[in-house]
Amino acid sequence: APGEEMPAGGGGNRAGGSGGGGTAGTLTLLLGEGTKRLPQAIIIGVKKGGTRALLEFLRVHPDVRAVGAEPHFFDRNYERGLAWYRDLMPRTLEGQITMEKTPSYFVTKEAPARISSMSKGTKLIVVVRDPVTRAISDYTQTLSKKPDIPTFESLTFKNRTTGLIDTSWSAIQIGIYAKHLENWLLYFPIGQILFVSGERLISDPAGELGRVQDFLGLKRIITDKHFYFNKTKGFPCLKKAEGSSKPHCLGKTKGRTHPDIDQEVVQRLRDFYRPFNMKFYQMTGQDFGWD
């Protein structure tokens, strides 16, 4: 979704990082040295889960280098080849991790095999969020671009009278996490996938970032000292963004006000997702507390 992306060039090509040891490291990057590497870690999903927030928070770490825009390589641009993909990556020094995020990978049938054939060792991160609020957020994003779309309620049901839910609508489909995960587990062991709670990313950003840094094998440098809670946005923001001394909240397209949805419809959706959520909790060994 273009709404998830930053303009190309938002790659945050910050010189420096601790990989090369202080000033020498800074200098080699300023001189355009360092090497473009294929990513060792990818945020593969999910749309409207909190992937942009996670990436921006992670980029505070001196050993993380990430692409700003979503490359969409393993879903839309695969025929361009790995050399094209690698060229999009920022230069890194020894010991730094190259990352990208494209939330649609999680629901792309071909993505697991493609990523696995690039490297079986790729670490995968999935930011998940209550599928009902995720669907409403997804709808809200579309609505902001196409104000004339049908109501959320009418898109949810194949048939309102029978209450049959239209699982072909992508806003509903994406939230059936257990189903999509099965596809990934054909190619990757569960231990190579980290599941980040979108809710906890808001309520306890430092705690979730601690888990992510551990998973990536990084020193726990990002802590609660880096965040402040912005009451207007209802989001944690960074006291200092990557490469800047100014505080940084996510852009104005983040944290949109959701329209009021008929409570009966919300309840029907909760009931619909419950068994899939339970299956997902079992598969991941984590209870996300959505029910």
| Cβ atoms of residues 131 and 175 within 8 Å | yes
Residues near 155 by beta carbon (within 8 Å), at least 6 away in sequence: 139, 149, 166, 169, 171
Q: Is 142 annotated as contributing to ligand binding?
A: no
What end-to-end distance do the CA atoms of the chain give, in Å? 28
Q: Is 279 annotated as contributing to ligand binding?
A: no
Q: Is 256 annotated as contributing to ligand binding?
A: yes
Q: Is 52 annotated as contributing to ligand binding?
A: yes
CA distance 238 to 57: 7
Burial of 148 (0-12, 13-18, 19+ CB in 10 A): exposed
**Has 246 been annotated as catalytic?**
no
Whether omega before 265 lies within 30 degrees of 0, making that bond cis, reads no
CA distance 208 to 125: 12
> Could you tell me which of 42, 73, 55 has the C-alpha nearest to residue 4?
55
| Cβ atoms of residues 54 and 236 within 8 Å | no
Q: Is 154 annotated as contributing to ligand binding?
A: no
Output DSSP code: residue 89: S
| Of 36, 47, 48, 158, catalytic | 48
Q: Is 129 annotated as contributing to ligand binding?
A: yes
Q: Is 49 annotated as contributing to ligand binding?
A: yes
Q: Is 223 annotated as contributing to ligand binding?
A: no
Q: Is 92 annotated as contributing to ligand binding?
A: no
CA distance 247 to 251: 12
Q: Is 254 annotated as contributing to ligand binding?
A: yes
| Cβ atoms of residues 246 and 240 within 8 Å | yes
Give the residue numbers of the binding site for 3'-phosphoadenylyl sulfate. Answer: 48-52, 129, 137, 254-258
Give the residue numbers of the binding site. Answer: 48-52, 129, 137, 254-258
> What positions carry a catalytic annotation?
48
